[in-house]
Amino acid sequence: MAIKLKAEIRNAAGKGAARSIRKNKNIPAVIYGEKKAPVSIELNGRDFEMLLQTPSLRTKLFEIDTANGQEDAMLMDIQYHPVTDNVIHADFKRIDVKKPVNVSVPVEVINAEVSKGLKLGGVLNFAVRKVALRGLVNNIPEKITIDLTNLTIGDSVHGSDLVLPEGVELGLHQAELAFATIGGKMPDEADNAKAAAAAAAPAAEAKK
């Protein structure tokens, strides 16, 4: 779902004008791209600071309402004050919602507590925590998850194994990356039987 944002057009440019905007607790910003002239805008500082709490903000479509009409854009950069850490500027890039975009989204692992390999004493190597994707902005997910439940020692999850939404594809050179691996040595048969019994015990208790 798109994030709706209201903005005022800035007629004055330069450091002095930007300082004046910040003094009023607002944020100077710019919208550029799509072979159109850049537009300098002013955002409500409080509203924008609250937006920064939104997960995966840079994968979202922004519908920015200005006096010149609506701009479809994505957040490309945020500049912070080196001392106060306050936002001092934001950059938005126009997009055509009918054309695919290239973005990076976080990858997370789930079900580590029930993973077969980790129960057998394996060690998780979560090596790549972001994946490059290409697709229409409204189809891009906030994150990609890797389910560790059925992975055992020696198993790896490569980019080509990731489950992607329809219409979304991997970016260049992502398919062969090993995102997560369960390393270690398989236990001998006796240890393996003990581990299997331990894993089955909670299920048996649950049936009682």
Does residue 48 form part of some domain? yes
> Same domain for 9 and 72?
yes
Q: Which residue has the higher pLDDT, 55 or 120?
A: 120
Give the closest residue to 58 by CA, choosing from 106, 25, 98: 106
> Same domain for 62 and 109?
no
Does residue 32 form part of some domain? yes
Does residue 203 form part of some domain? no
> What pLDDT shows up at residue 195?
63
Domain that holds residue 72: 3-94
> Same domain for 42 and 113?
no
Does residue 105 form part of some domain? yes
pLDDT tens, residue by residue, 163-198: 999 999 999 999 999 999 999 988 775 466 566 666
CA–CA dist 186, 178 (Å, integer): 20
Which range among 9-13, 134-138, 203-207 shows the weakest confidence by mean pLDDT?
Answer: 203-207
Does residue 206 form part of some domain? no
CA–CA dist 156, 151 (Å, integer): 8
Does residue 202 form part of some domain? no
Q: Categorize the per-residue pLDDT at 201 as very low, low, confident or very high, splitting at 50, 70 and 90.
A: low
> What pLDDT shows up at residue 190?
44
Does residue 172 form part of some domain? yes
Does residue 183 form part of some domain? yes
